[in-house]
Structure formats: C-alpha cells, structure tokens
Amino acid sequence: MNPSSLAALAGLALLASTAVSAQTISRGEVIASTCFTCHGTHGVSPSTIPSIDYIPAERMIETLRAYKSGQRYSTIMGRHASAYTDAEIVEAANYLAGLQKKGK
Ligand code: HEC
C-alpha cells in the first residue's frame, strides 16, 4: 500500500470515529428503546400489547409509577417499571412524548 492510500485510510478512520462521537443518545432514548421491544417501534404496537404512542408525558409518569408501586395491576409492567428510578421514568416519558411532537 502506498503512503497516500494509507493517509486516506487514516482520514476515513478519523471521520468514522467523529461521526460516532457526534451522535449523543440520551438516557430517555435508551430506556424508551427497551419499551419498543414489546410496544412496537415508537410505541406503535403490532400486537395485542397496547400502543403507547399517544400518551402524554404526565400520564405516562403516573402510569409507570402506579405499575412500579403495584397500585396498578399488571402482568409485566410492574416488573419492568420497578427497574427504573423516578428520574429515569421522567426522562423516558419525556422522550416518548417528544416523539409525538416530531410526528412519529
Ligand atoms: C416485556 C414487554 C414490555 C416491555 C419491555 C414494556 N411493556 Fe409496557 N406493557 C406491557 C404489557 C403486557 C402491558 C399490559 C399491562 C401488563 O399486563 O403488564 C403494558 C402496558 C403498558 C402501559 C399501559 C397502556 C394502556 O393502554 O393502559 C404503558 C403506559 C406502558 N406499558 C408503558 C411502557 C413503557 C414506557 C415501557 C418502557 C420503559 C414499557 N411499557 C415496556 C409489556 C411491556
């Protein structure tokens, strides 16, 4: 390999690494992506599990807290919600509500 193609490769590697570091993923987004496994991409469910894409942030926070405390009955959501702190619930709810504003 000649020196100029080596330099080009090094440049490419640098570009690739800046592209990755420029992409910041919020904690709300990471948590919300776990919801999509069951509730469908962006909360639009393809199955009998309810869609969650229309729920405002305030109601989502209340619902997740109720699942977490056991105040609201669930088969799965209580166990899932209890894995998150109150702050994480708020961040996930805000991220999900933000998707609705973006029209997703
Ligand atoms: C393992 C599958 C699974 C995951 C992961 C999951 N859910 Fe659920 N979700 C359910 C099921 C099933 C229900 C129905 C209630 C029950 O039995 O638990 C539900 C119910 C809900 C409801 C009530 C919907 C309604 O119409 O009343 C909300 C809100 C909700 N989930 C939000 C979330 C959020 C936010 C996340 C991510 C932090 C999440 N869920 C992750 C399976 C899941």
What are all long-range contacts of 51-56, with beta carbons under 8 Å and residues at least 24 apart? 52/96, 53/96, 53/99, 53/100, 53/104, 54/100, 55/96, 55/97, 56/97
Angle at 70 between CA 67 and CA 71, to 5 degrees: 90
The verdict on the CB of residue 31 being under 6 Å from ligand 1 is yes
What is the residue extent of each domain of the chain? Answer: 26-101
Could you name the CATH architecture of 26-101?
Answer: Orthogonal Bundle (1.10)
- For the CA of 60, the nearest atom of ligand 1: 29
Name the residue at shortest CA distance from atom 9 of ligand 1.
Answer: 77
pLDDT reported for residue 101:
83
- Distance (angstroms) between ligand 1 centre and the Cα of 23 equals 28
Cα 91 to Cα 9: distance, rounded to the nearest angstrom: 40
- How sure is the predictor about 77, in pLDDT bands with cuts at 50, 70 and 90? very high
pLDDT, tens only, 12-70: 666 555 555 556 899 999 999 999 999 999 999 999 999 999 999 999 999 999 999 99
- How sure is the predictor about 92, in pLDDT bands with cuts at 50, 70 and 90? very high
- Distance (angstroms) between ligand 1 centre and the Cα of 39 equals 7
